[in-house]
Each structure stands twice: as structure tokens, then as C-alpha cells.
Amino acid sequence: MAAPLTLLLLVAVTVRAALFRSSLSELISERVEVVSPLTAWKRVIEGLALLDLGVSPYSGDVFHETPLTIYLFHFLVDYAEVTFMVSVAGSSVFSDYLFRKQKFALEADRYPLDCLELIRSPKEMYYIPLKVAMFYLLNPFTILSCVAKSTCGLNNAIIALFILSTIKGNVLLSAIFLSLATYQSIYPLTLSALLTSVPLSCLINLCVTQWICVFLFWWFIVQYAFMYLGSLFVIICLSFFLLGSWDYLPSVYGFILSVPDLTPNIGLFWYFFAEMFEHFRLFFLCVFQINVFFYTIPLSIKLKEHPVFLIFMQLAVISIFKSYPTVGDISLYMAFLPVWSHLHRFLRNIFLVSCVLLACSALFPVLWHLWIYAGSANSNFYYAITLLFNVAQILLVSDYFYAFLRREHHLTYGLYLKRKDGSEATLVLK
């Protein structure tokens, strides 16, 4: 397994290195779909230059990275390209490692006999880690965001580390990586809903009586929450000591939550807030931000036995509804798609979704050029494509959700459904 992975890594590194050295890198690093005010490399350089001049980098609404990122890039600014490539390679290696180690409890006798074709054979599963790594490394979105040196790559690496440590069962590391991910951008907070589903599967063996079960469950949650909040607190205090001031709190978190910068991107916020009256701004800001966090509880209730799928859904929801999404966020959850390649027989809209996604990705630069440079289009055109892109993503995610649930249903009730009198029945989604 190591050889194909190494080969893949080599190919990915070559592609990125070639693009770094070409003239496309400046072009790509200015594209609004790839970099956002939160993740742009230009702003990191600007912040570091301000720091060298003795001014706080958070003055003037240029720099919105966290102080730990300042510390990291202070030493690595000359080796930025290598850093990003390493982080991307690291994420893919982690996810590869993760899926190799994941144990799918296949208890064939639990399922009805005709479901054998639904269960994945070990041969299929052998190639999944490699496919995940390939999907992440060779995804054009990842390549673009790596060449643009957007710090999204670092965020993705931290989230991948978090997922790895959660699945491996290491509570402390998972709490630490989750707090790091939340510290970078607030939205991974929703991933903490995972902790309702993971302990159930871990602790199922220890449950002697029901009360002990409940107690252990809550004790675990308290432990985890304590570690998570503790490490978050420690990281925030440490960041205070880096620059000696609390300015980074409004600059980073205030910026993410209150969305003052309305540069067009592939998200949903900018157009609405550009044309909104001041009177209603707070209200709509709350609505939009709650939308990200809103799906956590229902999803975690429904998917409490399937933590990996829950992670996938949460990541997808975050990257669609966050305030400044970029294509780097999309590439993270798309890397998970090969894990559920067995669901392909239940997917209903996959052709439409893939066509729309491809078409929109091609149309983004076209309509941007028409709007900004040629002047013959306006922001409505670009926002229409943005909307369509997000609708396609939502459709993709909901399609996978439907397919997943349907497979679960079939696993419980059998693949070929029969009514009480023996005739064939069809499954209808209400």
C-alpha cells in the first residue's frame, strides 16, 4: 500500500511544484473563489510586514489570521510553498491511514440474506484509502488552493488530524485538535457533536446496567468537554501572550461572525449583506450564522451510530454555509466521497449534480471577467452561479444522505421489499 501512495504523493507534489513555478500562481492567488479575506496569503504577508514595522497586524482590517498562525509563518514565510504542500500531503496521508485502520464491523448474520450485495467486500475496501488520498490530492480545487497558498490547507490538515484522532479513540488528542480547529475558525465547533456518537460505540461493552451506561456516557461527555474547553482556553491565553493584546479576538472571531467584508466569494453571505438595510443586518446575520449550527443536533440524533458519515455531513454543511467559503473547504468533504462509493446504486441525482458542479466551476471565472473587466454583466450573474453551485452541493450532500439512509433501511428490512401479501413494494421517501 505504501508504493501506490508514494507514487500518488510524488505526482501531486510535481503538479503543485510545476504550478508554483509558473506564472499562473499569481493569477490563482488573486481569484476570489480560491482565497477569501480570512485565508489569503497576501494578507498573511501584509500582517507579518506590519509586525516588522512595529504595528499590530490586526490594525486596519487586513489580517484575520490567528496568532498561532503568525508564529508559524514567522519562521516559515520563506518556505511557504513547502509548508502548504506538506500540510496537504499530511492531510491525505492521515486520511489514508485513518481509513485503513477503520474497522467495519461486518456481522453478516445480523442482516437478511439478500443484502449480501449491499455489504462491501474486503477487496473493495482495500482501495478506499488510496482513493481518498487521490481524491484529496488530485482534486483541482485542492491544487488551486495550495498553489494560491491559502491557509485553508492548514485548516484542513488540522481537521483531518482531529478526525484521525477521534476514530483512533484518543480522547485527549481529539479534544486538542478540535480546539485548534475551532480556534482557527469557529465553525468546527459543530464537529463536537461527534462526541455523542463516538462514545456510544466505544462504551457499549462497558455497560453493565442502564444507569452505569448513562452515567458513563455523561461522564465521558464531561471529560471531553473539560479537555476541549480547557485546551481552547489555554490556546487563547497563549495567543494573548504572543502579541500582548486581545485585538485578535474581534479581528478573527468578530470578523467571522459579523461578516464586515463583502468581497464576492462562492458563499451566500456577500450578496445579501451588500444590499441589506442596516436596520435588518443584525437579524439576518443571526439567521445566517444559526443556519450553520442548526443542523448539528438533528444530524447527530439521526446519525448517532455512524460517526464517520456524521463528520462528512457536518463538514459539508460547514463548507457550504460558512461566512467565507473557498474551494479548499469543498475539497475536504469531497475527499470523503470514495468512502461511500458503495452507495452509488441509491444515488438519484448524481449526474445532474456533477454536471452542475462542473459547469459552475467553469463559469465562475467567465462571469467574474464579464462583471469586473468587461462590464457587460453585473453581480447578479456571478451570484446566480454561486447560488447554483451551492444548490448543487446541497443536492449532492442530501443525495448521499438519502442513499445512506436507504442502505440502512435495506440492511434492516431486506433489499427486495415485499408487502404483507408477497407482492413487490417500492420505497417512497416522504
Partner 1 sequence: MKIHHFLSLFSTYFLVDGVNIEDRAGQFFSSGHTNNWAVLVCTSRFWFNYRHVANTLSVYRSVKRLGIPDSHIVLMLADDMACNHRNPKPATVFSHKNMELNVYGDDVEVDYRGYEVTVENFLRILTGRLPPSTPRSKRLLSDDRSNILIYLTGHGGNGFLKFQDSEEISNVELADAFEQMWQKRRYNELLFIIDTCQGASMYERFYSPNLMALASSQVGEDSLSHQPDLAIGVHLMDRYTFYLLEFLEDIHPASKTNMNDLFKVCPKSQCVSTPGHRTDLFLRDPGSVLITDFFGSVRKVELTMETINLTDPIEQLESAESGELQKEMHTYADQLPVSEIIHQKPKQKDWHPPDGFILGLWTLILLVFFQTYGVKHLKHIF
What residue ranges bind partner 1 (CB under 8 A)? 51-52, 54, 68, 70-71, 74, 170, 172-173, 176, 234, 238, 241-242, 244
Q: How far is the CB of 85 from partner 1 (least distance, A)?
A: 22
3-state SS, one letter per residue, for 76-93: HHHHHHHHHHHHHHHHHH
Q: Is 183 or 400 the residue whose CB approaches partner 1 more closely?
A: 183
Q: Is 174 or 197 the residue whose CB approaches partner 1 more closely?
A: 174
What ranges in 150-277 are assigned the alpha helix state H?
A: 152-168, 171-184, 194-203, 210-243, 248, 255-258, 269-274
Q: Is 99 or 177 the residue whose CB approaches partner 1 more closely?
A: 177
Which residue do the cell numbers 485502520 mark? 101
The C-alpha atoms of residue 64 and residue 19 are separated, in whole angstroms, by: 26
Q: Is 73 or 333 the residue whose CB approaches partner 1 more closely?
A: 73
The C-alpha atoms of residue 166 and residue 312 are separated, in whole angstroms, by: 14
Q: How far is the CB of 243 from partner 1 (least distance, A)?
A: 9
Nearest Cα to Cα of residue 346 among 300, 414, 410: 410
Q: Give percent helix, percent strand, percent coil of the chain, each to the nearest 5.
A: 75, 0, 25
Reported for 221-228, long-range contacts at CB under 8 A and 24+ positions apart, including other chains, are 221/195, 221/196, 223/171, 224/171, 224/174, 224/175, 224/195, 224/199, 225/195, 227/171, 227/172, 227/175, 227/176, 228/175, 228/178, 228/179, 228/192
Q: How far is the CB of 101 from partner 1 (least distance, A)?
A: 16
CB 63 within 8 A of CB 171: no
Q: How far is the CB of 56 from partner 1 (least distance, A)?
A: 11
The C-alpha atoms of residue 264 and residue 150 are separated, in whole angstroms, by: 16
CA atoms within 13 A on the CB side of 410: 23
Q: How far is the CB of 176 from partner 1 (least distance, A)?
A: 6
The C-alpha atoms of residue 120 and residue 247 are separated, in whole angstroms, by: 52
Q: Is 150 or 231 the residue whose CB approaches partner 1 more closely?
A: 231
Q: How far is the CB of 172 from partner 1 (least distance, A)?
A: 6
DSSP state of 429: -
The C-alpha atoms of residue 421 and residue 430 are separated, in whole angstroms, by: 23
Q: How far is the CB of 169 from partner 1 (least distance, A)?
A: 11
Nearest Cα to Cα of residue 86 among 146, 171, 161, 42: 146
Q: Is 70 or 144 the residue whose CB approaches partner 1 more closely?
A: 70
Q: Is 122 or 244 the residue whose CB approaches partner 1 more closely?
A: 244
Q: Is 59 or 170 the residue whose CB approaches partner 1 more closely?
A: 170
Q: How far is the CB of 275 from partner 1 (least distance, A)?
A: 28
Q: Is 170 or 341 the residue whose CB approaches partner 1 more closely?
A: 170
CB 84 within 8 A of CB 90: no
Q: How far is the CB of 227 from partner 1 (least distance, A)?
A: 11
